[in-house]
Amino acid sequence: MFSRRMLFTLALASACALGTAQVSLAKNPHHNNGHNLLGAKLNQDGKHEVAKIGNNSVTAEVKGKKVVGMSAGNLPARKVKSSKKMAEQPGGNVRLAANGEIRLAQAEVYYGYCFDVGLDEYCYWYPATDVVTTDTWIVYSP
């Protein structure tokens, strides 16, 4: 038969193991500005290397001044979107002077390609004007 002390020790060990499992599942996100990384290459059709993830070259495929896809060796790409600015985009802040209430017609949406490498996740973000958005994009959740 189990003693109270043994049951308490077992419960405490289980709680610690669950807490450790949750901590180990946390991702270390790396958000990059894909527009700035591509630069003038956004005007040239073809595949362009923008970064490296370990031994994998991260390439962006451009057609008609729009990014149509990204790849990083054999790492799977996840196509995500967010209304939050995840990486600094060009253009900065817009200054506005008005007398009265202001309503925005449309919230800005950013599109990204994310690559999962174990504990690290690398995302390359673009404004909607730089990406072909006709495909299915999922809402980004870290």
Tens digits of per-residue pLDDT, 8-66? 565 556 655 555 444 556 779 999 999 999 999 999 999 999 999 999 999 999 999 99
Separation CA 69–CA 48 (nearest Å): 11
pLDDT in tens, 88-135: 655 555 555 666 666 555 568 999 999 999 999 999 999 999 999 888
| pTM metric for this prediction | 0.70
φ and ψ of 72, to 5 deg:
-145, 80
Opening angle at CA 112, ends 126 and 29, nearest 5? 115
